[in-house]
Structure 1
Amino acid sequence: MPEYSSTKEAIPGAVLVVDTLDLERISRGLGDGVFTSEDLLYLSRISQVNDQVRAVGCVNPEAKSIAIRRDQERRDGNVHGALHGIPFLVKDTFVTLNQMDTTGGSYALAGARYEFESTITTKLRGAGATIQGKTNLSE
């Protein structure tokens, strides 16, 4: 996939360089079909470097299936919001009601269950975002 900056710059077979894209270019690229939500998942890069940097505490095991679903919704003309299909990592203090723990960096909270999701998580999901995982805390 290409490093994308406009609707006319797609280069077949080029590599998508996620860390050089801003939200506007990501949104435009998704809308123009230059790349997919699944293409944007940073899962392989996380697995490459996370052993050294430990920036990501957990990856959402549903991230790929959610991205695939977002791509299908986009093809069907059902875009949920401005962040539709864009992957995000949230801080581990934000409660998510899925298969990821919310520990705030404490092993004591592993496996804790919550009744409500955090407001920011709900708003991201409502705008169509894909919660890709949770970042570690410095504690």
Structure 2
Amino acid sequence: MTRLLLITALASLLCYCTANTGQASGADHLPEGILAATLPEIADALQNGDISAEALVESYLARIQRVDESGPALQSVLTINPDIIAQARTLDAKRAAGEALGPLHGVPILLKDNIESLDNMPTTAGSLALQDNFTERDAPLVAGLRAAGALILGKTNLSQWANFRSSDSMSGWSALGGQVRNPHMLDRNPCGSSSGSGAAMAASPA
């Protein structure tokens, strides 16, 4: 179960790492090809000083704005951590001081929004009933990611209540996030409880 949750937590990060980088908004200050890199390659680039966590976060935020909030408006990302830039700067400073936390130091991660995080974001399962549910604690999965140095960039949309809302509910829809869209066929259902994570994983912004 823990392994499955880890895969879910990493899914959306990987989508933003596997897209075409040539025309990527906000990516011009990053090394060529970094947004097409694998997770280990990104971790190595951070460790070697080829990129900073802050620059990487800013580029992902620009990509999310272009593909998720505008353009095709995938609605795969539900919440952005409002403190993410400051947190990235803190981790960059720690690395510069020789205090790297672990193998994911500075790597941005998106969580499915039924996974608790002590960051300034609610854990909602996509429901209006939980829109102010700030638990101020990390799920064990998130505590492990954070201990390894990961940055919690935000939360992904999902089928409300992980599709336990109703047997007739629309897959990929939540009251807070709206309908997640399939990035390759916008009129197709993205399917599944983790529809936001899946749509983000499949996105390939040009």
The TM-score bracket by the shorter chain reads 0.7 to 0.9
Q: Hey, what does 2:180 align to over in structure 1?
A: none
Q: In the alignment, which of 35, 42, 57 is matched to residue 26 of structure 1?
A: 42
Q: How many residues align?
A: 128
1:13 is displaced (CA, Å) by 6.0
Alignment deviations for residues 23-51 of structure 1 (CA, whole Å, 9 cap, x no partner): 22111111111111112111111111212
Residue identity in the other structure for 1:64: I
Code of the aligned partner of 1:46: I
Q: Does residue 90 of structure 2 align to residue 97 of structure 1?
A: no
Paired position in structure 2 for 1:43:
61
Paired residue secondary structure (1:31): helix
Provide, for residues 88-115 of structure 1, a one-character-per-residue CA deviation record: whole Å limited to 9, x for no partner.
0000010111211100111110112326
Select the residue among 97, 107, 110 that pairs with 1:76: 97
C-alpha distance 33-133 of structure 1, shift in aligned 2 (>3 A): same
What are the Cα deviations for residues 40-92 of structure 1, in whole angstroms up to 9, with x where unaligned?
11111111121210010000001111111111111100011110000000000
Amino acid at match of 1:83: L
Query: Mind listing any 5+ residue stretches in structure 1 that lack a counterpart?
Result: 1-11
Report the counterpart of residue 64 of structure 1 in structure 2.
85
CA distance in 1, matches of 2:77, 2:138: 20
The question of whether the paired residues in 1 share the 8 Å contact of 2:121 and 2:134 is answered with no
TM-score computed with the length of structure 1 as normaliser: 0.84
Q: CA deviation at 1:116?
A: 3.5
The root-mean-square deviation of aligned C-alpha atoms, in Å, is: 1.9
Gaps of 5+ in 2: 1-27, 161-206
CA distance in 2, matches of 1:60, 1:13: 22
Deviation at 1:16, TM superposition (A): 4.9
Q: Identity percentage over the alignment?
A: 37
SS in 2 for 1:53: coil
Structure 2 counterpart SS, 1:58: strand
- In the other structure, the counterpart of 2:202 is none
